[in-house]
Structure 1
Amino acid sequence: MATVRSGNKGVLLVVDMQAGVLNGTWDTARIVGNVSRAVERARTLGVPVIWVQHADEELVRGSPEWQWVHGLAPAKDEPVIEKRFNSSFEQTTLEEELARLGATHIVLGGAASNWCVRATAYAALDRGYDLTLIRDGHTTQTMELDDGMRIEAPRIIDELNAVMTWVRYPGRTSGTATAEQVEFGIPGGKAGSADGEHRDRTSVPGSS
């Protein structure tokens, strides 16, 4: 059973914004700009920023592909969590870092939407954190399946945004907000939402 965390201590978690991960992703420059804006806002507000950096046999530590994408980099005092699996929580020091900061609410952006961002989002909720996904701050590549079917990157992104708006966990809040609108101290969304991103949980499709 998850330990549900009370309070509204937010952190910004930036996942795998690396040159090799972002190679060929959809609308990369705009997404990098939006994540950069979220980082800038977090720093200005004194919200901790945690960076996650992936390495494995294909994304070799120290290689050009492993490096941060141009325009994004941790500040000297910002922690960098190294990982080898999709979830930023698996066999990493992320939980210890979140505990040190007293975090209860994770604001999440990065790449790729359908792999490490999705896995990290579910892992955060499973562990009792509130979650806000930066809806214009994550991206991926178009998928081409073995049968020739293509799942276009924008649709993958839209689907994850929808899921993180509607998914329900007991005692936790999830939602989405843009990089410009996200409120780090308001779990699951942004203040004064008027566009339906932060929804009444009784109206979730299929919940009746």
Structure 2
Amino acid sequence: MNPLRTRKQSVLLVVDVQVGVMAVCWDAARIIGNVVRAVERARENGVPVIWVQHDSEELPLGSPQWQLVAELQPLSEETRINKRFPSSFEETDLAAHLAALGADHIILAGAQTNWCIRATAYAALDKGYNLTIVQDAHTTSAIDMGQGQMIEAASMVNDLNITMKWLTYPDRTTTTATAEELAFV
């Protein structure tokens, strides 16, 4: 039996909705609005919100581009985590915060779908968490493959949504829901 099944807490994990990230993302205004709605709904339901921010050469810690977008303001009691790798678990204290909260279910939103959201989703599943991707609250930017080939952002978002809806792991659930459909059980 998965040891996380003794826990019964959902947590909303908001990853990298930062000024410098969202400036290059597909449909950013709509996605930010949906992240805002997911945060509002989590708070209304007493679900903890954890904020993750990426620190890199392009997003130096404390710089204007590193800041969360203006529409999203963490409450003083909400956890903030800085990361340097795509997975929000890698070399951070996220797992310790989740354990302290008694979390067994991660609700995931943010950017970028094909990098930090995907890496965090798979890490969460590998660690035994139930996972819900907020299907209308994650985004990325298109990738130019050269020679006229592009991978469009919407395709990557749709790919992850489909994958997480149908992916199966033993003794844990994966699903998707819109910001309005989220069930905080």
TM-score range, shorter chain: over 0.9
Describe the SS at the equivalent of 2:12: strand
1:11/1:107 contact within 8 Å kept: yes
Q: Which residue of 2 aligns with 1:17?
A: 17
Describe the SS at the equivalent of 2:157: helix
Compute the RMSD of aligned alpha carbons: 1.4
Matches for 1:37-56 after TM superposition, within 5 Å: 37-56=37-56
Deviation of the 1:7 alpha carbon: 4.6
Matched, 1:183 2:183: yes
Q: Which residue of 1 aligns with 2:93?
A: 93
Instruction: Report how many aligned residue pairs link the two structures.
Output: 185
Q: Which residue of 2 aligns with 1:8?
A: 8
Describe the SS at the equivalent of 1:32: helix
Task: Name the CA distance, whole Å, in 2 between partners of 1:10 and 1:177.
Answer: 14
Deviation of the 1:5 alpha carbon: 2.8
Describe the SS at the equivalent of 2:76: coil
Describe the SS at the equivalent of 2:82: strand
Gaps of 5+ in 2: none
Which TM-score applies when normalising by structure 2? 0.96
1:3/1:127 contact within 8 Å kept: no
Alpha-carbon spacing, 1:6–1:168, altered in 2? closer, same or farther (3 Å): farther
Q: Which residue of 2 aligns with 1:71?
A: 71
Q: Counterpart amino acid of 1:71?
A: E
Deviation of the 1:148 alpha carbon: 3.3
Task: Name the CA distance, whole Å, in 2 between partners of 1:3 and 1:17.
Answer: 31
1:4/1:172 contact within 8 Å kept: no
Task: Name the CA distance, whole Å, in 1 between partners of 2:108 and 2:3.
Answer: 20
Q: Which has the higher strand share?
A: 2
Describe the SS at the equivalent of 1:82: strand
Shifted more, 3-12 versus 23-32: the winner is: 3-12
What is the percent sequence identity of the aligned residues? 57
Q: Counterpart amino acid of 1:84?
A: R
Runs of 4+ aligned residues of structure 1 deviating over 4 Å after TM superposition are none
Q: Which residue of 2 aligns with 1:165?
A: 165
Q: Which residue of 2 aligns with 1:140?
A: 140
Deviation of the 1:147 alpha carbon: 3.9
Q: Counterpart amino acid of 2:143?
A: M
Gaps of 5+ in 1: 186-208
2:59/2:66 contact within 8 Å kept: yes
Q: Which residue of 2 aligns with 1:105?
A: 105
Deviation of the 1:4 alpha carbon: 4.5
Describe the SS at the equivalent of 2:5: coil
